[in-house]
Chains A and B, each alone.
Chain A
Amino acid sequence: MKMAKYVMKRLVLMLFVLFVITTVCFMLVRILPRPLPDYKNLRDIILARWEALGYNEPLLVQYGIYLKNIFTSWDFGTSWYIEVNEPAWNLLTDRLLPTVLVNLYSLILSIPIGIGLGVYAAINKNKWQDSFISTAVMIFISVPAYVYAFLVQYFLYFKFNLLPLQVLSLADAGGSWFTWKMFKSMIAPVLALSFGQIAGLCRFTRAELTETLTSDYMLLARTKGLTRAQATSRHALKNAMVPILPMIISTFIGVLAGSFVIEQIFSIPGVGQLYMMSIRLFDYDVFMMDMIFYTFISLLAGIVVDISYGFIDPRIRMGE
Chain B
Amino acid sequence: MSTLRTEEMTLNMGPQHPSTHGVLRFVIRADGEVMREAVPDVGYLHRSIEKIAEKVGYHGFMPYTDRVDYVCAMFTNQGWAMASERLAGIEVPRRGEYCRVIAAELNRIASHLISVGTMGMDIGAMTPFTHALREREMINDLIEELCGARLTFNYMRIGGVAWDLPPGWREKALAYLDHFDPILDEYNSLISYNKIYVERLANVGVITPEEAISYNLVGPNLRACGIKWDLRKDIPYSVYPDFEFDVPVGEGRWGTLGDSMDRYMVRIMEMKESSRILRQALQNLPSGPVLAKVPRNFKPPKGECQVRIESARGDMGWYVVSDGTGYPWRVHVRTGSFAAMGIVQKLSRGLMIADLVTLIASLDVIAPEIDR
Are A and B co-members of a single complex? no
Q: Taking beta carbons and an 8 Å cutoff, which residues of B are in contact with A?
A: none
Interface positions of A (Cβ within 8 A of B): none
